[in-house]
Amino acid sequence: MSTPENTPANPTVTTPGTVSGTASGTTPVITPVITAGSAPGNPDGTTWENRDTEKIISDIRAEVSSQKESITRYTFQAVGAAGVIWGLVLKLDGKAIPLYDGAAVYLCGTVVVFLMLVVVRITNHNYHTVNRNSGYELHLCRLKDYSRVVHEKNKSGRRELADRMLKVGWEEAMCAWRFVQPSLFSHVYKSFKNQFASVFFAHKIKKKLYPLPLYRWYATETLVKGDAVYHPGSYLRNIHWILYTVGGLSLAMMWVFLFVQAKALPGISIGQLVFSDFINVIITGWFFAQFNRQSSFRKLLEKEMLSIQSCAVVWRVVITCHLLGSTWAIKTNKSYKSYTTYTSGLALDFNEQFDNPHAWLTDWEDIFGTPAMDERLRKLFPESSTTTTKPDGKS
């Protein structure tokens, strides 16, 4: 793979329909095609198209479909397993299961509740992948529009940047995503260094962001005008409610059995009753804590930063940070040394203008490939001026 220094300044005219650098099971490299035509804003009268965009979109949609199918499959497998478990607990061939004083009710009830909550977490994880991939598709589709915008002092800057964005490999993009996107996310939402503590709390916007900015680009629902309505779809919501209903019914059966035990006093010991009560309280608290947290995460997936619309914006920020970080690393170190430092540093620079993402992007797009870009990067990373340029691997 060529380094950013070897990328041509202008897009190359190629023949549509050819695919290079592809292999079975891998994502083909997207390269631009410039064809004759009229496009307002392009100084040379050409139009911008993505070669094999249909193929890329097809691959992304196939993975999205696979992820959604797995969500549905896991959900109904979990519901089926819950039915089998409770069937065994209540009756087996007309005979009660001979487990000591209802221990089966608490043991199996706990297993069912835990199973439902685990599947809820898996569905959120898979849906996050769906939105991330769909957001990347939306990001690619928007490149043709961004490439038409021309800056008076740097007429080829945005088109060159669009060209470079098309040539970014998927693993390159994911490498940058793993520290740029979390940096943006943690700027808005509360985070917990203690992973154990984090599972008990809902995702909330940091208080330091109040009063909230007028332009909440990461919250699509707030951007619709007047009485217009935003509908994120009901698939994930319905899956959640199926799982919560089964888990809630299991929890209710555990409490009903506890009251039955209490009425049986003094037929059972106080110790047994206290133990049963303790189990129920712990499982109930865990259920509602997870309900609160996973429901708040669903809100992020449907309406806020993890939604498809917001992911498209984040992807553009991620790829911009990647290209600037890799370009500066190659220019200053002749290698990928300090690439991670530069790219993550650019993410922090974006957070300084978080409420106005398009202004930040425009600033870099308008100076991309010019001495002004070098000067601004030098100010952001003054230590790079004194870095020893020795061959090195990626940082």
**pLDDT digits 0-9 by tens, 62-86:** 888 899 899 999 999 999 999 998 8
**Average pLDDT along the chain:** 78
* pLDDT 10s digits, 148-182: 776 555 556 567 788 788 888 788 889 999 999 99
Residue with tokens 């300090």: 338
Q: How many CB atoms lie within 10 A of CB 90?
A: 13
Would you state the pLDDT for residue 347? 96
Q: CB neighbours of 146 closer than 8 A, spacing ≥ 6?
A: 158, 162, 365
As a residue count, the chain comes to 395
Would you state the pLDDT for residue 378? 93
* pLDDT, average across residues 318-338: 93
Q: Provide the domain limits for residue 182.
A: 32-310
Instruction: Check whether 115 has a pLDDT greater than 50.
Output: yes
Nearest by Cα to 365 from 333, 323, 326: 323
Instruction: Check whether 191 has a pLDDT greater than 60.
Output: yes
**Does 355 fall in a domain?**
no
Give the Cα-Cα-Cα angle 328, 334, 336 (nearest 5 degrees).
65
d(CA 273, CA 286): 20
* pLDDT, average across residues 31-50: 44
**Does 126 fall in a domain?**
yes
Residues 70 and 129 sit within 8 Å (Cβ to Cβ): no
**Number of folded domains that form the chain:** 1
Structure tokens at 291: 């309900």
d(CA 216, CA 189): 13
Collapsing DSSP to helix, strand or coil, 394 comes out as coil
Residue bearing the bigger pLDDT, 115 or 226 = 115
Q: Beta strand pairing status for 32-36 and 46-50?
A: antiparallel
**Does 111 fall in a domain?**
yes
**Does 41 fall in a domain?**
yes
Residues 310 and 220 sit within 8 Å (Cβ to Cβ): yes
**Does 275 fall in a domain?**
yes
Give the containing element (helix H, strand E) for 133: helix 103-146
**Does 319 fall in a domain?**
no
Give the containing element (helix H, strand E) for 376: helix 371-380
Torsion of CA 373, 375, 380, 384, to 10 degrees: 110
**Does 394 fall in a domain?**
no
What burial letters (b/e) apply to 223-241, b meaning 16+ CB within 10 Å?
A: eeeeeeeeebeeebeebbe
Collapsing DSSP to helix, strand or coil, 181 comes out as helix
**Does 63 fall in a domain?**
yes
